[in-house]
Amino acid sequence: MTEEAAVAHPSGGYYQQTDLVTGDAVVLDLRPAGFATRMLALFLDVVVQVAVLVGLGLLVDLLGQQVNTATYASITLAMVVLVIVGYPVAFETVTRGRSLGKLALGLRVVGTDGSPERFRQALARALCGFVELWLTSGVVALVVALVNRDGRRVGDFLAGTLVVQERARRADTAPIAMPPRLAAWAGTAELSRLAPETAQMARQYVQRYHELTEETRHTMGVQVADAVARSVSPPPPPGVSPVEYLAAVLAERRRREEERVARQRG
């Protein structure tokens, strides 16, 4: 089957395909970080934290000569918590999912739905990391990361996060052009039920279309077009390829949104 061939939906829609893969936006836009890359990023973060702990430890030792034992112990505990928990929480919150180690290796923590990491997620990862990384010397994190395909550790499961390899370049944000032969059909299509997440998934596919292999273009195109077709009616004319169909839907959706904004400003 060529890229231009249409796939009929038995219920009268456009495309039929088996269930979509879990986390479609992640499949299209983000790639789970490799195990070795994650370990190297973690090693860099640990080196930074140990260096900070050593530096603060020397400072606390100097102060310890002027305070009692209880105060010295309290300061030491606060210092350890601040570095081990506060460091990753602060960096990942401010940089939207990147510590110094992840920044150096092009990694980022995101939600399992592809959304940016939030403060509560960073905090959950850091608190869990204190146990699975520091108290167990990383053994728990290593075992858990090895037995799941995305390399997630316990903290990732509790926080609902995933460490991904950021793209070498960001997707083009230019408007998607309307295929001329579908302009009339798109102008009458019902698009109000199309969810933003599904539209974003379609946009990522269309923007990366030329980066995909021919087999992936077809397989993924059918999957994405089927997801869009569940919320769009009527079906397009016969003989339309998945990428044309999706481009027409996205271009028309953008045109209507621009008109709506223009009316509001008017």
Indicate whether 263 pLDDT > 60.
yes
Between CA 254 and CA 177 the distance in angstroms is 10
Indicate whether 2 pLDDT > 90.
no
Between CA 35 and CA 113 the distance in angstroms is 20
**Which residues, 6 or more positions from 149, have their beta carbon under 8 angstroms from its beta carbon?**
32
**Half-sphere exposure (CA, 13 Å, Cβ side) for 178?**
15
What average pLDDT does this structure show over 50-65? Answer: 82
pLDDT for the residue 12: 39
pLDDT for the residue 18: 31
What average pLDDT does this structure show over 150-160? Answer: 89
Asked if the bond preceding 234 is cis, omega within 30° of 0, the reply is: yes
Contact 151, 34 (CB under 8 A): yes
pLDDT for the residue 214: 83
- Residue for token digits 């077009």? 225
pLDDT for the residue 62: 77
Q: Which residue has the higher pLDDT, 266 or 138?
A: 138
* Average pLDDT of every residue of the chain: 81
pLDDT for the residue 235: 93
Percent of the chain with pLDDT over 70: 83
pLDDT for the residue 174: 67
What confidence tens digit (pLDDT) does each residue in 164-213 have? 887 544 444 567 899 999 999 999 999 999 988 888 889 888 988 887 88
